Structure 1
Amino acid sequence: MSPVKAKSFVASRLPENTGVCGWVAMLPPRVEKPRLEGALTADVVVIGGGFAGLSAARRLSQLDPQLRVAVLEVGGIGEGSAGRNSGFIIDLPHEVSSEDFSEASSNKSRRDITVQRTAIALASELAAEQGWGPDILDPCGRYSVAMSAEGDKHLVTYARQLAELGEAHTLLDAKETAEITGCPAFTSGLFMPGTVMIQPAAYIRAVADSLKEPVRVFERTPALSFARVDGGWLVKTPHGSVEAGQIILANNGHAQSFGFFSGRLLHVFTYASLTEEFDPARLSGARKWGATPALPMGTTVRRINGKGGDRILIRSRYTYNPGLDVGDGEMRRAGALHDRKFAARFPGLPNIGMEYRWAGAMAITWNSVPAFGEVEQGIIAACGCNGLGASKATASGIAAAEMALGVSSELSRIYQTFQPPKSLPPQPLTTIGAKITLAVREWNAGDE
């Protein structure tokens, strides 16, 4: 990977969140970690307090309990993209399409499974250590559901490939799927037991709260710049600074805001809506489940049970936003689509409205590899999750921590095999191509 030549890096923009995230809104108020005030010295500074950054901090503290680590989060813990996730820590390759699961790709599938199960292992270890309940992390598995003959075909193809990989799964017909989901529109389903479901905002908060001295987490503390100094790097924030020997850049697409991976990251936003609470007696089936779509870029659905009633989460719609911001019009269009998707799946809930709507950012590379590695001496990037942020960003954070301390593991060896992110075509070709690709794939997904 070609290093960036400059020795001083200044943020051109800071992350902004669009819409009110229902995951955060459902949680009780919390006492935030302090913002950074004054000068601090650390061994490693982690920029970003999401899946990648907090997982890196956790792994660093495991490898060297005496290591001084400072985690800088631009906003409140859980308010950013990680807390806006759909909450699936998935162990298996995600897109259930035959071309992605051919015999020729079995080695890649096994590699991806190893990467993603490393993320699940970290989350499960923390849950056992901290005594978290299923309201934070639930190893309940997930469903993939179809709403068309094409979707049914893809689930059968995927199930066959899982069998060849030796992975547990159960195919369900329409009646069996309806008994679980309460949704008569699903034509088939596939259950995979290895996925861990999380309440993403609660999970991110809990991971941050689990970190103890000499790891320190600072909220409302954006990294504004960092520059080379004798023996390391000086990171400046609005009210203080951190001098450290190494930086782990765990801010996903916003690594580009500091000048890294220029022309190599596609900034894509996805959208979610969460209903108001409803009487669980109004909808049959299990009160807690999550389902990803049979076809890529279809609709993800979760039923969430709470003390005051149940809610349904709908996630669908993808837009290319190279400026890293989302407009009101895009939110309205996504919301209208979610309302139609909800009505098609749950006709027995005609008067249930959406209480929260939000957008979340992803960073995608053209060749679907992470934006990972030492991008400047002493600066290691753990970015470019390519979707599946809970799984892949967590794994990238772990791998970055191991790279920082020179530790070899099966995960770090896998990360060494990844090619650098490919350069994107020049503008306006990238914008035209990205928008056409997203539109075609959403059209292909149809009702899914």
Structure 2
Amino acid sequence: MSNTRVAKRLPRDPGPPAWRSIIPEQPRYPKLENKIITDWLIIGGGFAGLSAARRLCQITNTDKIALIEASEIAAGPAGRNSGFMIDLPHELGSGSYQNKIEVDQKHIKLNRQALQFAKDAAEEYSMPTEAVEPSGRINGAVNTDGEKHNKEYAQHLDQLGEQYKNLSSFEMEKITGSTFYKSGLFLPGCLMLQPALYISKLANGISQSNGNKFSIYEHSPAIEIKKNNDSWEIKTPTGSVITKKIIMAVNGHAESFGFFENRLMHVFTYASMTKKLTNDQLTKLGGEKKWGVTPSNPMGSTVRKITGINGDRILIRNRWTFDPSMEVSEQRVSKFGNDQDKSFNDRFPMLSDVEMEYRWAGRLCLSLNSVPAFGEVDKNIYSACCQNGIGTAKGTLAGIGAVDLATNTDSAIVNDMKSYDAPKKLPPKLISYLGANAIIKWRELKAGKEL
């Protein structure tokens, strides 16, 4: 393996980080501007990186730990998702949520370990209620295909012994204020996050609880990783880190350093969030104060109604693109914003005067065979990457698992992560680009009104 790895590119996140923009100012962390020596370096300050940090602090007594983040905490993908921390089978890379019973039962158990990790952190660090709420989610159906899908999913949940509740169109309207949904399937186990608030409070909580043992550096992207005898030297634009062990928690960006080359699919999703709803608009809408609807067709629109520190708002997320460059333009974000406006108006015609305040894109990483990019990828470099579109739960598990692997701690997470094949190699780049985007487009067309 190469002694020096230079980053081919740095992460770029188009559009403002809406979730972070609507919470009070959070603590900021310094830029790395000198050389430091530490026992552990975590690259990436999202769900995987911060979960790894908390796990390390739990099981190491005297080791010094540093975390470097390319931008700012909660400004990257961790603060750009829709905030669903899902416990049940939810494979975005396939056309169906379903899998084998025994496999799904194992994954549910592991996912719930991630959810418990988040709930424990919320309690330990006294997070506001809206950061982590065990309020469940709804799989919404807007047509007969969606209802058929929900019926099949409910049958699968029966086989798994999982709880759910069927919702009529009247009950869906009572919850959402919208007559758009024909029916729904309420799934009680999902945690609803204010992702930027959770990530910010998690970072601050770990920092405050561990004193000089743990340090965070923002605006400090890793640009080079170099073998230095029995240690690694990681360079940033203005500093460097000498460390024994590295946790690579950067999802698809791992490929920028030459790891898992041509084995990771870089996908963007797009979202918009309204301005604060006025009292008059809230009256017109009706429904409950907060709820979350995922589409019965995985390619459809995810919709959330939130209430919290910065008022009541609605978020809508849809559209997907495969972008191997890991970059999309602001123009693309704006273009797909028109689709979100249409989806919003279809669901909430009574809110025709509501304007969107934020539009953004978020990066996902998928593998062709829906497996993680996990394990020791070079001596004492441990990857916690490729969450296959479910970064809140899978990222949390990957971060914990990477630490357990690196410290030789026996755990069910490590056993599961190590049981997978490696991510499959992708076809040649042009074929991958054309083929993946054609499949996405076909699936979006098939989603119909769900979009």
Give the alignment of 1:26-105 within 5 angstroms.
26-94=22-90, 99-101=96-98, 105=100
CA contact (8 A) 1:95 1:295 kept: no
| 2:121 is the alignment partner of 1:126 | yes
> Which shows bigger deviation, 113-122 or 44-53?
113-122
Task: Report the counterpart of residue 148 of structure 2 in structure 1.
Answer: 153
Task: Report the counterpart of residue 405 of structure 2 in structure 1.
Answer: 403
SS at the partner of 1:216?
strand
Q: How far 1:126 sits from its partner (Å)?
A: 0.5
- Aligned partners of 2:236, 2:32: CA distance in 1, in Å? 8
Provide the TM-score with structure 1 as the length reference.
Answer: 0.96
Task: Report the counterpart of residue 359 of structure 1 in structure 2.
Answer: 361
CA distance 1:311–1:26, change in 2 (3 Å): same
CA distance 1:268–1:308, change in 2 (3 Å): closer
Task: Report the counterpart of residue 371 of structure 1 in structure 2.
Answer: 373
CA contact (8 A) 2:306 2:313 kept: yes
- Aligned partners of 1:376, 1:31: CA distance in 2, in Å? 34
Q: Which amino acid aligns with 2:98?
A: F
Provide the TM-score with structure 2 as the length reference.
Answer: 0.95
Q: How far 1:193 sits from its partner (Å)?
A: 1.0
Percent identical pairs in the alignment equals 43
- Aligned partners of 2:4, 2:113: CA distance in 1, in Å? 34
In angstroms, what is the RMSD of aligned CA positions? Answer: 1.4
CA contact (8 A) 1:50 1:81 kept: yes
- Aligned partners of 1:19, 1:257: CA distance in 2, in Å? 22
- Aligned partners of 2:300, 2:215: CA distance in 1, in Å? 39
Q: How far 1:282 sits from its partner (Å)?
A: 2.4
Task: Report the counterpart of residue 251 of structure 2 in structure 1.
Answer: 252
CA contact (8 A) 1:74 1:219 kept: yes
SS at the partner of 1:40?
strand
CA distance 1:293–1:99, change in 2 (3 Å): closer
CA distance 1:144–1:325, change in 2 (3 Å): same
- Aligned partners of 1:201, 1:273: CA distance in 2, in Å? 15
Q: Which amino acid aligns with 2:197?
A: A
Q: How far 1:100 sits from its partner (Å)?
A: 4.1
Q: How far 1:39 sits from its partner (Å)?
A: 1.5
Task: Report the counterpart of residue 318 of structure 1 in structure 2.
Answer: 320
Q: How far 1:133 sits from its partner (Å)?
A: 2.5
| 2:417 is the alignment partner of 1:421 | no
CA contact (8 A) 1:369 1:420 kept: yes
> Which shows bigger deviation, 144-153 or 17-26?
17-26
The one-character-per-residue Cα deviations of 1:380-406 (angstroms, maximum 9, x if unpaired) are 111111101111111111100101101
Q: Which amino acid aligns with 1:101?
A: Q
Which of 175, 189, 192 is 1:194 aligned to?
Answer: 189
> Which shows bigger deviation, 430-439 or 320-329?
320-329
Task: Report the counterpart of residue 285 of structure 1 in structure 2.
Answer: 287
Task: Report the counterpart of residue 203 of structure 2 in structure 1.
Answer: 208
CA contact (8 A) 1:98 1:154 kept: no
Give the alignment of 1:103-142 within 5 angstroms.
105-142=100-137
Q: How far 1:95 sits from its partner (Å)?
A: 5.0
CA contact (8 A) 2:150 2:296 kept: yes
| 2:174 is the alignment partner of 1:182 | no
**How many pairs were matched up?**
442
> Which shows bigger deviation, 30-39 or 74-83?
30-39
- Aligned partners of 2:372, 2:44: CA distance in 1, in Å? 16
Q: Which amino acid aligns with 1:59?
A: R
- Aligned partners of 2:143, 2:129: CA distance in 1, in Å? 32
CA distance 1:343–1:174, change in 2 (3 Å): same
Q: How far 1:98 sits from its partner (Å)?
A: 8.6
CA distance 1:121–1:13, change in 2 (3 Å): same
CA contact (8 A) 1:320 1:435 kept: yes
CA distance 1:82–1:88, change in 2 (3 Å): same
- Aligned partners of 1:358, 1:108: CA distance in 2, in Å? 34
CA contact (8 A) 1:305 1:311 kept: yes
Task: Report the counterpart of residue 8 of structure 1 in structure 2.
Answer: 4
- Aligned partners of 1:90, 1:355: CA distance in 2, in Å? 27
- Aligned partners of 1:38, 1:174: CA distance in 2, in Å? 60
- Structure 1 gaps of 5+ residues are none
> Which shows bigger deviation, 24-33 or 44-53?
24-33
Q: How far 1:192 sits from its partner (Å)?
A: 0.9
Q: Which amino acid aligns with 2:194?
A: Q
